[in-house]
Amino acid sequence: MRRWWGCGILRVEEVEMYCRVWSLIVVTFFVLPALGAARAGALKGYRIGDELFVSVNDLAAYYNLGRDQSAAFERAEYRTPAASLAVQSERRDMELNGINHWLTTPVVAARGRLWISKTDVLKTIDPVLCSARLRGTWKVRTVVLDPGHGGSEHGTHGITSGRPEKSLTLDLANRLKPLLAAAGLRVLLTRTDDVVLSLEDRVAFARKKGADLFVSLHFNSGGSATGIETYCLPPAGSASTGTPSSRGGEGHLAGNRYDEHNVWLAHNVQRALLTATGAADRGVRRARFFVLRDETCPAILVEAGFLSNPAEEKRVLDPAYRDRLAKAIADGILAYRSSVEGCSETDKKPASGSPRR
For 129-142, the pLDDT digits (tens) are 999 999 999 999 99
pLDDT for the residue numbered 249: 57
CA torsion 350-269-278-56 (nearest 10°) is -120
Residues of the chain with confidence (pLDDT) below 70 = 1-41, 246-249, 343-357
Taking the model in full, what pTM does it have?
0.87
What distances in angstroms separate CA 73 from CA 79, 87, 117, 142, one per listed residue?
17, 11, 18, 47
222 vs 313: CA distance, rounded Å: 12
Give the amino acid at 133: R
274: amino acid identity, one letter: L
pLDDT of res. 42: 72
Q: What pLDDT, on the 0 to 100 scale, is given for residue 248?
A: 56
All structural domains of the chain, each given as residue ranges with its CATH number in brackets, are 12-134 (3.30.457.10), 142-347 (3.40.630.40)
Give 81's contacts (C-beta < 8 A, 6+ positions apart). Answer: none
Q: Which residues contact 292 (CB under 8 A, 6 or more apart)?
A: 216, 231, 232, 233, 255, 262, 299, 300, 301
- AA letter at 272: A
User: Residues 166, 155: contact at Cβ < 8 Å?
Assistant: yes
